[in-house]
Structure 1
Amino acid sequence: MTNLDLFPPEPPPATGPLEHLLKVSRIYLEPDIERFTRGRDILARFPGAERVPVRSHWNIPGLFGNEGNAEAWNRIKGSTLVLGVKKSMGFEANGRSADFLPPSTANGCVMSCAYCYVPRHKGYANPVTVFVNIEQVLAAIRRHAGRLGPKTEPNTVDPRYWVYDIGCNSDCSADAALSDNVKDLVRLFTVLPNAMGSFATKLVNRELLSYAPRGKTRIRFSLMPPAKAKLLDVRTSPISERIAAIDDFVAAGYEVHLNFSPVVITEGWQAEYDALFQQLDDTMGDRAKEQLAAEIIFLTHNERLHEVNLRWHPKAEELLWRPELQETKVSQGGGVNVRYRTGYKGRLVEEFQELLARRMPYCRVRYAF
């Protein structure tokens, strides 16, 4: 398959929350996808899309791992969907955003945030893969939560429930516009007495307001100063729209937290975040403020992703790649990551929390690093 083959046919008009982000004209699908109800449902949503059989969603010739697709990054994301079957039903301990990472029901994203870590693991064009065997994932979570029993010792994740991050490899707000997988997960946690779901999002999908989560799903709206978001949060909902949605999601029964991530250091960052905190304080109602908590995550970048970004979004790298402020760290997987220098980062984290406490003293910080 050549790079020209990667460009799908012209897509049909689309509707819904992904109207301007994803107009599916090509679907790569693993064998036997249509034997799953969810697979048939998704294919029925896009009857005019070209169907391309593949052996594995992880290994699509010409797409997976092809850094040469950098120039076509957003075109591929905006027209391509992959359907697969989730093979592994393992759970990973987390301890920060959640207690556990369950088997994912999707991988990849319609959005193109310049700092996203997922493309490093799944082919740099990184279109969305939806896993169609949702019943197996739901059953695995039920069994796992059942074995855990009650949460008897509160921790920084949550004082009452075991928390499962259901969106660590994708954005569930976007996934919910493609299938009912997210709805099924939200409904599952309403009947698990000892567990709740959680996911971070940069997309406002108001269809989720009808899911009736009953306080058992936590949405973490990811936020950064609007000027930075316009450059770095490519193809996402505007920051003002995310902030405006907070009260509505609280009213619909979600626990809503904030995810200040990634914090990118530039000249004048303190004033930018002070204005963001003021905007939040002015916009949120009392009910949202009473239940509010936040995560603070400073930027970690990657050498290979930096090289790819230089080909499709070099302006972003002027903010993300700052060798004079950063140091390298080799990850467990052998990747060369960069983060703000030890000592310097500690001072930044402290200063950020002081700014937040001054403007939003009611906002509890669950963790910061």
Structure 2
Amino acid sequence: MDTNSVLLDIRRIYLEPAAAELPRGREVLARFPDAELVEVESHHRVPELYGDETNVRRWVRIKREALVLGVKKSLTARVNGRSADFIAPSTANGCAMACAYCYVPRHKGYSNPVTVFANIDKIVGYVRRHAGRQGVKAAPNECDPRAWVYDIGENSDCSVDARLSDNVRDLVELFRQLPNAKASFATKHVNRDLLDWDPRGRTRIRFSLMPARDAKLLDIRTSPVAERIAAIDDFVAAGYEVHVNLSPVVVRDGWLEDWAELLDQLDAGIGAAAKAQLAAEVIFLTHNRDLHEVNLGWHPKAEQLLWRPDLQQAKRSENGFVNVRYRTGSKGRYVAALLDLIGRRTPYCHVRYAF
């Protein structure tokens, strides 16, 4: 069965009229000629999708069948400093996949299908000018020793976005031309169409990995972890820089033994070229009270792993959300244990940061 048809079966497009007037908007509409078109005033507020708690019963169906086509109004590059030096303006947000720990639904509303932004020319132009203003990177940092790194997929999965429009390809081609910058995005979806894009080392793909036992319960509608590992050598050979995101790390009985097995699978599954350039980000689970309540409506089994008051403590985020994370002191021991394991099982893998 075609993976794309399982993941995406677009039957309804919520459309900002201005998006339909742009070349990219017309291209997207042409990809789905049989879809019902529903005009909306803003991609931010689609009454049938956002703010309606009853949609939790249609969580996956909405992701598969609905698409929003809009225009990105505000173009900014935010300073980051961990995964990337800057977060680039989004060319999309939302996702067709349904990871139970995803933070985006609590910002945008229930289910959160993909929104594609049609004004790609404006976004590409902004990023080009922003990178030009940075000049040469004066000193190495944890993002990259030489290039300014721009995360192009903060609120979406670019491998999935590439099945809906050419926005991601346009950015990969842009960064191919920039001598002082590179693109970066994390993904849980193997899209082999990207292998033909000739990135010339200027795009970093971060394949997210977790033990298969966790992924089966938490990584809903994603490519199997084994498939992600199997793709790494091919993406390296195609000219991508490939890192891994070991995330989210979920603490449970037997968690460290399962991570040891995953690291052994990674070691056995990639070749010398991939190992020579491999680096990792390690991110332990942070969960959210509101998302916990939503998940109870569509995937309560996941919450048995994600919502652990016996192991977690609450922290109010800068934007006012109540998040939970592993308790101070205990978390430090968890991080140290996993880093020690990585050092023993995959000593060539540089850990860029862990928290």
Counterpart position of 2:317: 331
Counterpart position of 1:245: 231
Counterpart position of 1:202: 188
Contact 1:91 1:102 in 2 (8 A): yes
In 1, Cα distance between equivalents of 2:265 and 2:195: 23
In 2, Cα distance between equivalents of 1:187 and 1:280: 29
3-state SS, counterpart of residue 190 of structure 1:
helix
- Tell me if 1:75 matches 2:51: no
Counterpart position of 1:86: 72
Percent of pairs with identical residues:
65
Tell me the CA shift for residue 64 of structure 1: 1.1
- Tell me if 1:364 matches 2:342: no
* Per-residue deviation, residues 63-113 of structure 1 (Å, max 9, x unmatched): 112222111100111100000000011111100100000110000000000
- Tell me if 1:145 matches 2:131: yes
Alignment of structure 1 residues 135-214 onto 2, 5 Å: 135-214=121-200
Contact 1:161 1:194 in 2 (8 A): yes
In 1, Cα distance between equivalents of 2:195 and 2:279: 20
Counterpart position of 2:277: 291
* Per-residue deviation, residues 201-237 of structure 1 (Å, max 9, x unmatched): 0000000000100000000000000011010000000
Counterpart position of 2:18: 32
Contact 1:66 1:125 in 2 (8 A): no
* Per-residue deviation, residues 129-183 of structure 1 (Å, max 9, x unmatched): 0000000000000111111100011000000100000000000000001110000
In 2, Cα distance between equivalents of 1:356 and 1:65: 42
Contact 2:18 2:71 in 1 (8 A): no
3-state SS, counterpart of residue 243 of structure 1:
helix
Alignment of structure 1 residues 297-316 onto 2, 5 Å: 297-316=283-302
Contact 1:101 1:165 in 2 (8 A): yes
The letter for the 2-side match of 1:114 is A
| Aligned-pair Cα RMSD in Å | 0.8
Tell me the CA shift for residue 16 of structure 1: 5.9
Counterpart position of 2:38: 52
In 2, Cα distance between equivalents of 1:53 and 1:212: 37
Counterpart position of 1:103: 89
The letter for the 2-side match of 1:136 is K
In 2, Cα distance between equivalents of 1:155 and 1:65: 40
In 1, Cα distance between equivalents of 2:280 and 2:267: 14
In 2, Cα distance between equivalents of 1:276 and 1:27: 39
Tell me the CA shift for residue 124 of structure 1: 1.2
- Tell me if 1:263 matches 2:249: yes
In 2, Cα distance between equivalents of 1:299 and 1:262: 5
Q: How many residues align?
A: 355
Tell me the CA shift for residue 32 of structure 1: 2.1
In 1, Cα distance between equivalents of 2:18 and 2:259: 49
Listed as ranges, the gaps of 5+ residues in structure 1 are: 1-14
Contact 1:17 1:205 in 2 (8 A): no
Q: TM-score normalised to the size of structure 1? A: 0.95
The letter for the 2-side match of 1:50 is E
- Tell me if 1:216 matches 2:190: no
Decide whether aligned partners of structure 1 residues 165 and 17 sit closer, same or farther in structure 2, where only a CA change above 3 A counts: farther
Runs of 4+ with >4 A deviation: none
The letter for the 2-side match of 1:205 is N
In 1, Cα distance between equivalents of 2:81 and 2:3: 32
Tell me the CA shift for residue 17 of structure 1: 4.6
Contact 2:19 2:117 in 1 (8 A): no
Contact 1:329 1:337 in 2 (8 A): yes
- Tell me if 1:120 matches 2:95: no
In 2, Cα distance between equivalents of 1:142 and 1:256: 23
Listed as ranges, the gaps of 5+ residues in structure 2 are: none
The letter for the 2-side match of 1:212 is D
Q: TM-score normalised to the size of structure 2? A: 0.99
The letter for the 1-side match of 2:167 is N
Counterpart position of 1:9: none
In 1, Cα distance between equivalents of 2:185 and 2:111: 23
The letter for the 1-side match of 2:36 is E
- Tell me if 1:345 matches 2:327: no
